[in-house]
Amino acid sequence: MVPKSIKKAAFLLLFIDRFNVYLLQNHRTT
């Protein structure tokens, strides 16, 4: 079983990665 902290950290990294892609796309279109 995976500890909650590790699961939370992985989710956070995924969220930040998607957020960065979102920002990059916005920056390019503008």
Number of domains in the chain: 1
Greater confidence, 2 or 14?
A: 14
Show the domain range for 8: 1-30
How far apart CA 10 and CA 25 sit, in angstroms, is 23
Could you tell me which residue, 1 or 30, shows the higher pLDDT?
Answer: 1
Answer whether residue 8 shows pLDDT above 80.
yes
Triad 18, 19, 21: Cα angle to 5°: 65
Q: Which residues have C-beta within 8 Å of that of residue 16, sequence separation ≥ 6? A: none
Residue 19 confidence class, pLDDT cut points 50, 70, 90: very high
Res 30: pLDDT: 63
> What's the pTM?
0.58
